[in-house]
Amino acid sequence: MQRLPYLASALVLSSLLSACGSQEAPASAPPPAEVGIITLKAQAIDLTTTLPGRVTAFQTAEVRPQVGGIVKRRVYAEGTEVKAGSVLYELDPATYQAAYASASASLAKANALAKQAKLIAKRYEGLVAIKAVSQQENDDAQASAAQTQADVALAKAALDKARIELNYTRITSPISGRSGKSSVTAGALLTANQVQALTTVVQLDPIYVDMTQSSSDFLALKRAIEQGGVNQGKRIPVKLTLSDGRTYEHAGSVAFSESTVDPSTNSITLRAQFPNPDGQLLPGLFVQAEVAQGQQQGVLAPQRALSRNPQGDATAMVLDQDNNVQPRVVKTSRAIGDKWQVVEGLQAGDRLVVDGLQKARPGSVVKPVPFTGDQLVEKAPAKSDEADTAAEKTAAPSAAKKAE
């Protein structure tokens, strides 16, 4: 029972000592908050724009007969690759073979008559010199020889025509490419230059992609290039994203742009050429084209570093030389990946707060830490000596009570 007054006196004495110690050592100011920063640098920015596009065949040929006749057989297999000059259809050539034979015989006859007329004309040249024939007879002989030569030329032309028409009974592909379905079968009657095409052959490698760009964007880019703000090379690369979201593995380049504006859409058509060795791109396919417009010197700021003020302006937090936080109103032009291209408000050398923006209040002093891409981890506050002492004192009576 005598221990209770002793313990009470000890507790009162320790509390008085703690109060005196706290009055002698006032609480110190908290350390500056850590924020992640990056130092902005001027760099060459690749300017790109995404345009809608449609795939267009490099060449398209509609195959039609140039002479009439009955289809004897279809030579090619539908949907296969064909070479330029390969036979697709064969017509019955009987009548054209007969016409060719007749033209050949007519040429032979014309050659014989021309030979005879030439000999007579030569003979009359000698006879007229000795007055054996009249001048009129000699003139008639010379004219007859010239006429027979013309007949020979006419017969040769007829023979060439007959040969061409005979060759046209073998309908060939004008280009190399992939053949389409056939609209006729064996036994069909064809006429020369008919409206209906027999089949279509399209060349798919290389292949075109037609893109549309607004005239205002086109003129703005042209003006920037002329003023030297954008450097554009001779070759303008283009990348494709297919309709299923995949990126096409082959890069292309802009082949040309239209010289007129479509009045219905106020846009200009750009045509890019792509290799298509696997036939992955088919005519009519919808794609998204990323066109490289050139390079421009500028500053890029991470999108996470910018926010909006109540007026809707984009703002950023920048540190001065004394690590004071200063808000800046900035203007951006376009998004490039996860960054904004800044045109006003920030410049190379500025220390931009990227992480810990909730702690970077305007006018406050912070501790800058280089931002490497990882989120800063908030450190757990360390236990103070006073807290440790209080814990020990709290635990001591409990242990003493247990001992009793």
The helix or strand, by DSSP H or E, that contains position 254, with its residue range, turns out to be strand 252-257
Amino acid type, 48: T
Q: How far, in Å, CA of 80 to CA of 178, rounded?
A: 6
pLDDT at 71 exceeding the cut of 90: yes
Q: How far, in Å, CA of 359 to CA of 45, rounded?
A: 31
The answer to whether 201 and 180 are in contact (CB under 8 A) is yes
The answer to whether 253 and 236 are in contact (CB under 8 A) is yes
Q: How far, in Å, CA of 271 to CA of 255, rounded?
A: 6
* Structural domain includes residue 200: no
* Structural domain includes residue 361: yes
- Of 70-79, 105-114, 219-228, 366-375, which range is least confident? 219-228
The strands making up 87-91's β-sheet, listed across from edge to edge, are 170-172, 87-91, 69-74, 189-190
DSSP H helices, 35-134, are 94-129
The closest of 36, 42, 49, 38 to 335, measured between CA atoms, is 49
CATH code of 314's domain:
2.40.420.20
Domain ranges, residue 337 = 33-45+298-370
pLDDT at 47 exceeding the cut of 90: no
The helix or strand, by DSSP H or E, that contains position 54, with its residue range, turns out to be strand 42-56
* Structural domain includes residue 343: yes
Tokens linked to 44 = 């060459």
What does the pLDDT look like over 251-296, one tens digit per residue?
999 888 887 888 888 888 889 999 999 889 999 999 999 988 778 7
Is the pTM here over 0.85, yes or no?
A: no
Q: How many domains, the chain?
A: 1
The answer to whether 290 and 50 are in contact (CB under 8 A) is yes
* Structural domain includes residue 215: no
* Structural domain includes residue 377: no
Tokens linked to 90 = 């064969």
C-alpha atoms less than 13 angstroms from C-alpha of 66 in its C-beta half-sphere? 15
- Of 37-46, 103-112, 212-221, 223-232, which range is least confident? 223-232
* Structural domain includes residue 328: yes
Summarize the confidence of residues 147-157 as an average pLDDT: 95
